[in-house]
């Protein structure tokens, strides 16, 4: 029920909506004419009841009465009535990303979240959801796990149930708005992400563990060494314990010493192979699958500007042809498209290319949201401007090519999933994003989203009233 102060705020919109109706009624009464009929032409009827005059007035002005009712409904809707549909109560969402499993069993962020659900009185009785990732569709999901919580007798049992049902790859906080659209209010997020800040969401930060990880930084083909090179970064004393070769069915065999070379680096180490393949690095008892790229296809070009760029790149563009896994440099839009690098020419270059695309080199750039690279005179004059194209080509010869929709069920391999070859596509692996191991530090705003209003209810009320108006018009036609 809306309070009295809220209803007072609706007086203005309702009065404004009623003003045209009142004006039309005034004009109709001013233009009304009384017609006199001889009494002998009228059939005798006793209408001496007090209500008879009221019914005659309604027959004369039913349309005005219905218009006034519709105006009141429209005015209330403008003022925010009826209120948002929060009929399902509060809800709690659990971050089901890879970082929630960091640490020893019983002392992980996931275990802390399970204990909170059992011990915190403000969370008890709420609907519980997980923000996870579906390996079949390869999309982030929100899943109801309230029943699993009710069936569990202890936090440990609930945590084990989540481990067996969730992939723990990544989480999309944007899916919290879906809970708002379903009618949940008072949302709470349990996460170990220290950069998460709630906007309409109560963020409960769990204890994050000291960083200890082994993560893949890059995997490219090295033309000079004629080898496939995978570079890894480590932290917290993590080291590679063993290397495994992945078989198509998900099984693994221990790599032989002659299969690879390992070279330490200041930030970790690098593994190099003679050719492409699928492998898994073992550390702390975990296994991280990765793909070693093969020799990439030469660059190809589409468009006048792209042809000039590819021709200027020299050896990697002289035999340009479009291959199944090659990179096509093209003019115009299509930023982010797999297998393409879209370029555009700009007159002003107030920005620089992202350092990850230039290996730290400073390269001037413009702004064009429709293209991957917006280049001008300064960038064309810089030799480092060629680096993004070399990196794109080096990474294009991956041993795997992701299919839009996997046709085979994925196989769990350590911290990732292996997708078997199907439909002309080679097998490939998917692993958690890098920020699940090394947080980027960027501020993340977690929004609850907008709660659905009751526009459908208002529309149905208006449709019913105007339907009544049409019915009365047909019923009373010729009876006034």
- What average pLDDT does this structure show over 278-285? 93
3-class DSSP state for residue 455? helix
The answer on pLDDT for 169 being more than 90 is: yes
Residue 11 and residue 41: Cα distance in Å, rounded? 48
Lowest mean pLDDT among 215-229, 394-408, 411-425: 394-408
For residues 231 and 451, the model is more confident at 231
The answer on pLDDT for 316 being more than 70 is: no
Cα of 477 vs its chain's centroid, Å: 56
| Cβ-contact 195, 441 below 8 angstroms | yes
| Dihedral sign computed on CA atoms, order 461, 465, 468, 474 | negative
- The CATH fold assigned to 213-295+407-436 is Immunoglobulin-like (2.60.40)
User: Quick one: pLDDT band at residue 278, thresholds 50, 70, 90?
Assistant: very high
The answer on pLDDT for 475 being more than 70 is: yes
pLDDT, tens only, 334-364: 777 777 888 888 888 888 888 878 877 888 8
User: Which string of DSSP letters, residue by residue, matches 67-99?
Assistant: HHHHHHHHHHHHTT-S-----S--EEEEE-BGG
| Structure token pair of residue 369 | 């949201």
Residue 48 CB contacts under 8 Å (≥ 6 apart), including other chains? none
pLDDT, tens only, 138-155: 999 999 999 999 999 999
Residue for token pair 């090295």: 222
Predicted local confidence at residue 74, as pLDDT: 81
Predicted local confidence at residue 186, as pLDDT: 86
The answer on pLDDT for 409 being more than 50 is: yes
User: Quick one: pLDDT band at residue 136, thresholds 50, 70, 90?
Assistant: very high
* Domain ranges (residues) in the chain: 4-83+455-476, 91-210+441-447, 213-295+407-436, 300-396
Residue 273 and residue 254: Cα distance in Å, rounded? 15
Lowest mean pLDDT among 27-36, 243-252, 361-370: 27-36
Residue 204 and residue 94: Cα distance in Å, rounded? 10
The answer on pLDDT for 61 being more than 90 is: no
- What average pLDDT does this structure show over 305-324? 62
pLDDT, tens only, 186-213: 899 999 998 888 888 999 999 888 888 9
Lowest mean pLDDT among 230-244, 251-265, 332-346, 363-377: 332-346
Residue 95 and residue 170: Cα distance in Å, rounded? 8
| Dihedral sign computed on CA atoms, order 10, 13, 17, 20 | positive
3-class DSSP state for residue 138? coil
Polymer length in residues for the chain: 480
The answer on pLDDT for 445 being more than 80 is: yes
Residue 261 CB contacts under 8 Å (≥ 6 apart), including other chains? 227, 271, 272, 273
3-class DSSP state for residue 201? strand
- What average pLDDT does this structure show over 72-96? 77
The answer on pLDDT for 36 being more than 80 is: no
User: Chain-wide mean pLDDT for the chain?
Assistant: 81
Cβ-count burial of 381 within 10 angstroms (0-12 exposed, 13-18 middle, 19+ buried)? exposed
The answer on pLDDT for 47 being more than 90 is: no
Strand segments, DSSP code E, in 206-259 are: 213-222, 227-235, 242-246, 252-254
Residue 30 and residue 56: Cα distance in Å, rounded? 18
Q: Which one of 37-46, 175-184, 462-471 scores highest in mean pLDDT?
A: 175-184
User: Phi and psi (nearest 5°) for 390?
Assistant: -65, -40
The answer on pLDDT for 477 being more than 70 is: no
Predicted local confidence at residue 191, as pLDDT: 94
């Amino acid at each position: 029920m809306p309070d009295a102060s809220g209803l007072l705020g609706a007086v203005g919109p309702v009065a404004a909506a009623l003003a045209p109706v009142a004006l039309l009624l005034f004009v109709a009464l001013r233009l009304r004419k009384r017609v006199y009929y001889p009494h002998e032409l009228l059939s005798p009827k006793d209408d001496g009841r007090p209500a008879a005059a009221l019914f005659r007035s309604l027959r004369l002005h039913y349309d005005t009465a219905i218009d006034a009712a519709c105006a009141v409904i429209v005015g209330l809707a403008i003022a925010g009535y009826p209120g948002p549909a929060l009929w399902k109560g509060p809800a709690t969402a659990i971050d089901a990303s890879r970082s929630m499993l960091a640490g020893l069993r019983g002392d992980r962020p996931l275990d802390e979240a399970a204990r909170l659900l059992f011990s915190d009185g403000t969370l008890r009785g709420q609907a519980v959801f997980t923000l996870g990732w579906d390996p079949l569709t390869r999309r982030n999901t929100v899943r109801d796990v309230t029943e699993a919580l009710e069936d569990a007798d202890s936090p440990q049992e609930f945590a084990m149930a989540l481990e067996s049902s969730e992939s723990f790859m990544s989480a999309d906080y944007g899916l919290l708005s879906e809970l708002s659209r379903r009618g949940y209010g008072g949302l709470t997020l349990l996460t170990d992400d220290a950069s998460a800040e709630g906007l309409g969401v109560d963020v409960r930060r769990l204890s994050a563990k000291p960083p200890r990880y082994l993560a893949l930084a890059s995997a490219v083909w090295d033309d000079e060494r004629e080898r496939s090179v995978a570079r890894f970064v480590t932290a917290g004393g993590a080291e590679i314990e063993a290397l495994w070769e992945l078989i198509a069915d998900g099984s693994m065999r221990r790599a032989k010493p002659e299969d690879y070379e390992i070279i330490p680096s200041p930030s970790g180490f690098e593994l190099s192979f003679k050719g492409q393949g699928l492998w898994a690095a073992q550390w702390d008892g975990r296994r991280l699958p990765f793909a070693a790229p093969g020799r990439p296809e030469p660059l190809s070009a589409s468009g006048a500007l792209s042809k000039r760029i590819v021709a200027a790149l020299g050896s990697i563009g002289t035999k340009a042809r479009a291959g199944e896994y090659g990179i096509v440099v093209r003019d115009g839009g299509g930023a982010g498209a797999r297998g393409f690098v879209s370029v555009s020419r700009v007159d002003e270059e107030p920005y620089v290319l992202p350092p990850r695309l230039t290996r730290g080199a400073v390269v001037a750039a413009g702004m064009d949201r429709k293209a991957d690279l917006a280049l001008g005179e300064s960038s064309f004059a810089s030799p480092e401007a060629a680096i993004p194209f070399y990196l794109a080509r080096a990474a294009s010869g991956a041993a795997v090519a992701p299919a839009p929709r996997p046709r085979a069920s994925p196989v769990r391999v350590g911290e990732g999933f292996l997708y078997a070859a199907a439909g002309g596509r080679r097998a490939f692996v998917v692993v958690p994003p890098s920020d699940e191991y090394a947080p980027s530090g960027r501020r993340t705003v977690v929004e609850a989203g907008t709660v659905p209003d009751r526009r459908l209810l208002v529309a149905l009320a208006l449709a019913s009233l105007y339907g009544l108006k049409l019915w009365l018009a047909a019923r009373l036609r010729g009876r006034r």
